[in-house]
């Protein structure tokens, strides 16, 4: 039978100084700061070492519903697991209910932890809506699934699973978000992706009706209720002509270079430009 060894509080903390009488300089300095601050607050009539525990307890429970477990909250706040356990559940085996009062400093630390995406544990399960939309949008602008897997450091099968909108772990969702932020406005050709594979990716996206990054508002892309803004309903030839014209006029591409960038043949581009010119003349 093994016995767990109690880990001492870190140096520079009040508990290390007061409970274990540590005389190191960081512990003494922390004790002096605490004593001076306490004296000032008492002088101004603002000394309030304890506050009602209920608001803090509700905040921790709210974080739990968001997917941030109470032990992770304790670790992020720099508060002991035992203190948060007593706050939520009381003292096991002694008949004490949840804590009624909590130190002001502890309450401030726990309430400073926010229900943010980056605070979720790596294995926390999330809705895959936003992750799937980001991946599909990248495919729509020419990023092949295999290359996206490389950018994320993930397996191609996982990328396909997430493209379909399956539930996702927070670590994967963050990897997709970071890849999306890096690549959404980057020409795949500048990163070594062959136009043949970029063209295949765009055709897959077109066949499935996957919107490009420009169709999504970053503030709402994760909301299941959000809809893509596809702009005017235009045919494929017109869309190709508009993209090619933008590349030619804005970036100085030749028609051959524009066709190469769009993953189509020069003949296909000429047909699209001719089609667009015919429509404009009508």
User: How do the pLDDT tens digits run along the chain, 282 residues long?
Assistant: 444 445 677 888 777 887 788 889 988 998 888 888 778 877 777 667 788 989 999 999 988 887 788 998 998 888 888 889 988 988 765 667 888 888 888 898 999 988 887 888 888 888 888 999 999 999 999 999 999 999 888 888 888 888 888 888 889 999 999 999 999 888 899 899 998 999 999 999 989 889 888 888 877 888 887 888 776 555 667 778 888 888 888 888 899 888 887 777 788 888 888 877 754 443
The domain that contains 265 carries what CATH number? 1.10.10
Q: Is residue 32 part of a domain?
A: no
Structure tokens at 1: 């039978």
| Model pLDDT, residue 281 | 43
| Model pLDDT, residue 132 | 93
Number of domains in the chain: 3
Q: Is residue 6 part of a domain?
A: no
Give the count of beta carbons closer than 10 Å to the beta carbon of residue 119.
Answer: 17
Q: Is residue 113 part of a domain?
A: yes
| Model pLDDT, residue 7 | 65
Of 121, 147, 169, at which residue does a domain stop? 121
Give the count of beta carbons closer than 10 Å to the beta carbon of residue 215.
Answer: 16
Q: Which domain holds residue 282?
A: 232-282
Whether the Cβ atoms of residue 241 and residue 272 lie closer than 8 Å to each other? yes
Of 103, 121, 139, at which residue does a domain stop? 121
Say if residue 169 is in the same domain as residue 227.
yes
* H-run or E-run covering 169: strand 168-169
Q: What is the DSSP string of 199-219?
A: HHHHHHHHHHTPPPGGGS-TT
Whether the Cβ atoms of residue 175 and residue 153 lie closer than 8 Å to each other? yes
- Which residue intervals of the chain are DSSP H helices? 14-20, 25-43, 54-66, 70-77, 81-89, 104-111, 129-140, 145-152, 156-163, 170-183, 195-208, 236-251, 255-262, 266-281
CA dist 182 → 58, 75, 173, 193, 227 (Å): 37, 30, 14, 15, 23
Of 65, 91, 121, at which residue does a domain stop? 121
Per the listing, tokens 């990328």 go with 159
């Amino acid at each position: 039978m093994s016995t767990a060894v109690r880990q001492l509080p870190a140096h520079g903390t009040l508990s290390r100084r007061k409970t274990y009488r540590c005389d190191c300089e960081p512990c003494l300095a922390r004790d002096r700061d605490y004593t001076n601050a306490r004296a000032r607050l008492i002088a101004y009539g603002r000394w309030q070492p304890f506050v009602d525990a209920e608001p803090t307890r509700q905040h921790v429970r709210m974080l739990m519903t968001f997917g941030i477990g109470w032990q992770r909250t304790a670790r992020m706040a720099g508060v002991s697991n035992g203190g948060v356990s007593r706050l939520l559940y009381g003292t096991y085996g002694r008949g004490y209910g949840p804590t009624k009062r909590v130190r002001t400093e502890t309450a401030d630390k726990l309430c400073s932890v926010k229900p943010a995406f980056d605070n979720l544990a790596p294995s926390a399960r999330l809705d895959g809506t936003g992750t799937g939309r980001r991946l599909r949008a990248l495919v729509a602008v020419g990023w092949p699934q295999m290359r996206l897997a490389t950018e994320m450091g993930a397996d191609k099968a996982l990328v396909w699973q997430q493209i379909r909108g399956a539930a996702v772990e927070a670590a994967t969702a963050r990897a997709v978000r970071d890849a999306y932020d890096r690549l959404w406005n980057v020409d795949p050709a500048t990163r070594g992706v062959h136009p043949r594979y970029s063209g295949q990716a765009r055709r897959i996206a077109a066949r499935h009706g996957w919107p490009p990054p420009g169709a999504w508002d970053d503030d709402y892309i994760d909301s299941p209720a959000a809809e893509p803004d596809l702009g005017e309903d235009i045919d494929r030839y017109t869309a190709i002509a508009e993209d090619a014209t933008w590349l030619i006029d804005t970036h100085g591409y030749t028609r051959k270079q524009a066709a190469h960038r769009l993953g189509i043949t020069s003949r296909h581009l000429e047909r699209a430009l001719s089609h667009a010119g015919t429509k404009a003349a009508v």
